[in-house]
Amino acid sequence: MARTGFLADTPCRIWAIWVNCAGMDRPAAPRNLICVFFAAVLAWLPAAVALPRNPAAAGDVGARFSAAARRAGLRLLEGRHLLLASDRPVRAGDGVEELPAVFDQAFATWCRHFGIDPAAHADWKAVGCLMVDREQFRLAGLLPDDDQIPDFKNGFCEAGRFWLMDQSNPTYRRHLLLHEGVHAFTLTLRSSTAPSWYTEGIAEYLATHRVVPLDEGPPRFIQTPIPAAAPDVEQLGRIEVIRRGRATARAPALDDVFQTPPSAHQSLDAYAASWAAVALLAGHPAHAPAFATAEQAPLDDRFTARLRRTAGWDDTLASRNFDAFTDELDYGYDFSRSSIDWSQGSPLVAPARIDVDATRGWQNSGWSLAKEGRHRLVASGRVTVGAIADTTLESEPEGISLRWYRGRPVGRLLAAQWVERPADGGRPRFVVVGEGSQSEFTALTDGPLYLKINDAPGDLADNAGRLGVQVE
Ligand SMILES: [Zn+2]
C-alpha cells in the first residue's frame, strides 16, 4: 500500500517525547520507558518548523489525517479539541466513544491551570492514534517507520500529535490519553522544553482524574491531582510506588527529583516522584504561589532554576515538605489537613496539656524537646473516626481494634519527632516515640513533639473531636 506521506511532510516542531505509561503497572518490564526526550527521533523530522498552533485546523492537517484514516478503514472520533483515529473494534461500554468529550473537558482544566483563555484557543485540536495494531497506522502513513521513530511501548507525543497503544482497562486508557494530551497542550500552547521532572509531573498531575457518570451523554471529568480512591485510577500505582520507596529507603529527595535526567524516566520510580513533586508544589499552600508564578514564565530548560529564584520560594522548606508528603502520602491526602507546622516551639520545662484534633495529620504541640530527654505522655478523651454503615466509630487513645492503618489501630494517639537521619536509614521522616493512653519515651532529637491520631490521610475529614494529652 502506498504511503500517504502524511507524517513526513507535516511541519513539525523539533521536540519529541517517548511515552510508555502502561509500563507503570509492570515496573520490571525491560523496555519500561515512560517519557523520555529522545534526540534520535529528530532524525525523522524535517528541519525545525514551528508547528501550527492548531494542527487540525491550520492548513489541512486534520483533513489529511482524517482522509488517511478513512482510507485505512480506521474509526474516527472527534471532539472540539481532539481528532482520534483507532483500529479498536467498537465495543459497547468500553468508554472509547466518550474519549473526545472527556478530552474537551480536560482541555478546559488545563487552560485554567495555565491561565489560558480557552476561548482564544477554541480551535486548538490535537490529533491522536489509539492503536491495537500499529502496523495498520504505519501502512496508512499515520505512524512513522521504525527507523524514524523509537519503538515506543505505549505512547509517544510529538507537538500536537500523539500515538497511544490501546489498553484493556478503560480507566487507564483514558488516563494515558489525557497524559498525552497534556504533553500536546504544553508543547504547542506553552512551547515547553522544561526539564523532564516537570514535563512528566505536570502531565500526570493534570491527567489524573475520575469521571462521574451522568444520566445522559458523556461522563463528567473531575481532575483529582491526588487520587481520592484507588478505584478512580486503576493500574496507575504511583502512590504505591512512592510508599514502597519510602519503606525501602529508596525514595528520592526533592533535589534528586529536580536533577532527574530524561533517561531516568525509564523507571516508574522516577515517574511517580515527578508526579509527587508537582503535586506538592502545585497543591501545598506554602509553595503553590511560587510554583504558579514560575509556570507563567517560559517553560524552558531553566524552569527549575527560575522556580528556585521565584519570590516566596524556600528551598529548605520545600525539601522538608516533600519528605513529609512522600512519608504520609495516601489516597485522599489533603494539604489542608496534613501540611506541617515546622516552628520550633518553646522548650518543655513543665508538664503541658495539648489538644489533639482528630481531623488533622501531624500537629505541632508547640513544645520542643531536648535530645535524650525522658518524657511521659498520658492521653484521654474520646473521638469519632468515621462510621461503619450507620454506626459511628468512637475511639479512645488506645485506638479501635476493628480497623487498622499502617500497622496500628485507627484512632490510636501517636507522638513523634521529625528525624533528619532515621536510625534505620532513608529520607527524613516522622518517627513515632510514644503511643496509646500512656507511654514513656526518650526524645530522639532536639525539636518539637508532634501528635496525631492514627488514621489514613483521606479518612480524616469524617473524624470529629479531640484527645487531651499531658506531656511531662
Ligand atoms: Zn509523558
Query: How much is the pLDDT for 266?
Result: 67
Phi/psi region, residue 379 (left: phi>0; alpha: psi -120 to 50; beta: rest), is beta
Amino acid identity of 415? A
Query: How much is the pLDDT for 436?
Result: 97
Query: How much is the pLDDT for 4?
Result: 27
Outline where DSSP puts E strands in 193-268: 209-212, 220-223
Question: What protein residues have CB closer than 5 angstroms to ion ligand 1?
Answer: 19, 35, 203
Q: Could you tell me the pTM of the whole model?
A: 0.87
The per-residue DSSP string of 424-449 comes to T-SS-EEEEEEESSEEEEE--SSEEE
Measure the CA–CA gap between 162 and 129, rounded to whole angstroms: 6
Average pLDDT along the chain, 472 residues, taken 10 residues at a time: 27 32 33 30 29 48 90 96 96 91 98 96 95 94 82 84 92 94 96 94 95 91 91 83 88 94 77 95 97 96 97 96 96 95 95 97 97 97 93 95 95 98 91 97 97 97 96 96
Torsion on CA atoms 64, 67, 69, 71, rounded to nearest 10: -140
Query: How much is the pLDDT for 11?
Result: 24
Residue 19 CA to ligand 1 centre (angstroms):
5
Residue 465 CA to ligand 1 centre (angstroms):
43
Which SS3 state, helix, strand or coil, does residue 304 take?
helix
Query: How much is the pLDDT for 282?
Result: 97
Domain boundaries, the chain: 1-339, 346-471
Phi/psi region, residue 167 (left: phi>0; alpha: psi -120 to 50; beta: rest), is beta
Residue 461 CA to ligand 1 centre (angstroms):
33
End-to-end CA distance of the chain: 83
Residue 34 CA to ligand 1 centre (angstroms):
6
Residue 166 CA to ligand 1 centre (angstroms):
16
351, containing H or E segment: none
> What CATH code would you report for 346-471?
2.60.120.430
CA-CA distances (angstroms) from residue 131 to 137, 167, 171, 215, 404? 8, 9, 16, 30, 43
Look-up: residue for cell 474537551? 104
**Chain centroid offset of residue 349 CA:** 43
Determine how β-strand 346-347 pairs with β-strand 438-442. unpaired
Query: How much is the pLDDT for 7?
Result: 29
CA-CA distances (angstroms) from residue 398 to 184, 315, 453, 458, 465? 52, 38, 10, 21, 15
Residue 57 CA to ligand 1 centre (angstroms):
24
